[in-house]
Amino acid sequence: MRRVRAYRVSSLVIRHRNLSEADGIVTLYTRERGKLSAVAKGVRRARSKLAGGTQLFCHAQMQLAAGRSLEIVTQVQPLEVFYHLREDMRRYAHASYVAELLDSLVHDESPDPPLFDLMLATLRGLDNGGDPPTLVRGFELKVLARLGYGPEMTHCVICSAAIGAGKAGFSIAQGGTMCGRCANAHGAAPLAPAALRAMREMVELPPEELAKRRIAKAVGEELERILRPFVDYHLARPLRSAEFLGS
Ligand SMILES: [Zn+2]
């Protein structure tokens, strides 16, 4: 029999589904190997040793073994189970959205430790009482920027003029900000200076800082109106969890 080598990863469970009466499949975002799927055998049985650390969102140290098609979870040591965000429907809905967004945007096995750290910090912020819309908008902006989807926020996407404090617009299809003149000419949606300032700030601020902030309601609503369709524009299919976000 071929001996399969086990290896350890720091993991976040970004998706969990049932495989059979006893087994489950988890989609993990790992610090060392990026996204991968693994079978958790017997996880649905009472007193399974794997159950605690394979719940959705859980941060755990996992030991995996290479299986025939999927990896196999052999040991789990839960580190953070994010108890509070499980107890609160609104926080749970926002955490589900960031997990589904990450799952949709990243390919299997392309590790990106800073992206792992961003996801972990966002879950911690949601668990520790941070403002969910602020954390989610910040996550969207940072993950899109990290994966090269923009949006452009400093120059006009048409004429390259620097965007100052005056009138500006935002175009989803063109990938970001437009100066007042180009926004007029192309019929781009207007972008309020406060919303643009908030976007620039959110992409710069570390998630630990974002967790202490709360964007003003009107600004938050404008950002949601801009960023949710911008996110969808870059995805192959709409996110199911998006409809449960509320505000
Ligand atoms: Zn322009």
Domain boundaries, the chain: 6-81, 84-244
Sign of the dihedral defined by the CA atoms of residues 99, 100, 105, 108, in that order = positive
CA 166 – ligand 1 centroid, Å: 12
Alpha carbon of 172 to ligand 1 centroid (Å): 15
Helix (H, G, I), strand (E, B) or coil at 149: coil
What does the chain come to in residues? 247
Location of structure tokens 């693994």: 38
pTM of the model: 0.91
Closest by CA position to 172, among listed 230, 232, 224:
230
Helix (H) or strand (E) holding 60: strand 59-66
How far, in Å, is the centroid of ligand 1 from the Cα of 138? 26
Distance from Cα 19 to the centre of ligand 1, integer Å: 52
Both tokens assigned to 99: 């997990």
Identify residues whose C-beta is under 5 A from ligand 1, the ion.
156, 158-159, 161, 179, 182
Taking the C-alpha atoms of residue 74 and residue 105, their distance in angstroms, rounded to an integer, is: 27
CA of 167 to the centre of ligand 1 (A): 11
Q: Cis peptide leading into 78, omega within 30 of 0?
A: no
Angle at Cα 4 formed by Cα 115 and Cα 28, nearest 5°? Answer: 25
* Fold of the domain built from segment(s) 84-244: de novo design (two linked rop proteins) (1.20.1440)
Classified as helix, coil or strand, 241 is: helix
Alpha carbon distance 152, 178 (integer Å):
9
Query: Rounded to whole angstroms, how far apart are CA atoms 64 and 5?
Result: 9
Assigned fold of 6-81: OB fold (Dihydrolipoamide Acetyltransferase, E2P) (2.40.50)
pLDDT tens by residue, the chain, 247 residues? 555 588 999 999 999 999 888 999 999 999 999 999 999 988 888 888 888 888 999 999 999 998 888 899 999 999 999 999 999 999 999 999 999 999 999 988 899 999 999 999 999 999 999 999 999 999 999 999 999 998 999 999 999 999 988 889 999 999 999 999 999 999 999 999 999 999 999 999 998 999 999 999 999 999 999 998 899 888 877 778 877 776 5
Angstrom distance (rounded) from CA 144 to CA 150: 6
Strand partners, 171: 176
Alpha carbon 34 to its chain centroid, in Å, reads 13
